[in-house]
Amino acid sequence: MEKKIKICAVASIGGHWVQLLRIARPLEKDFNIIYLSTHSKCATMVEGHKFYQIKDFSRWDCYKLIPEIFHTLRILRKESPDAVISTGAAPGLITLFAAKLLGIKTIWIDSIANAEHISFSGKIASKFVSRIYTQWEDLAGNKVIYAGNIFG
């Protein structure tokens, strides 16, 4: 029996999490998906799949970044995913950075809410991720790929 590709799907609670679920749910039949998010109640939305809670933070309390990068490195070493995808925000960005350090493929999908420009986290992600996607055709170009949106 062939081993399923393992994908780590990570997002902060709220709109980022909702978008991630819309993207990851259809993948569950073909891939082994593990989830990471910033609130324990997200685990109830992905029952039957591994779930890890990570700390929430933003650029306003970025001192939390250092311990969280080590936390996500431990999770990624334990799970050994083939790829990590994130719709944001800062905790997703840090998880992608940790994955990149481990040589794991990384995918950033910028939030559909960012209709006029790529998000601040998306701009940072574009410097190191394997792929970056926008959900707005007008924002594609210069490494940013448009492949549709979660409502299309």
pLDDT, one tens digit per residue, over 14-57 is 999 999 999 999 999 999 999 999 999 999 999 999 999 999 98
**What pTM did the predictor assign?**
0.94
pLDDT of residue 117: 94
Q: Which residues contact 75 (CB under 8 A, 6 or more apart)?
A: 8, 36, 52, 54
**Structural domains in the chain (count):** 1
Q: Answer whether the bond into residue 99 is a cis peptide, omega within 30°.
A: no
Is residue 46 situated within a structural domain? yes
Domain of residue 24, CATH code: 3.40.50.2000
- Rounded to an integer, what distance in angstroms lies between the CA atom of residue 72 and that of residue 52? 9
- Is 152 part of any domain? no
Q: Does residue 49 belong to any structural domain of this protein?
A: yes
Residue 105, by phi and psi: left (phi above 0), alpha (psi -120 to 50) or beta? beta
Q: For the chain, how many residues are written?
A: 152
Structural domain boundaries, residue 18? 6-146
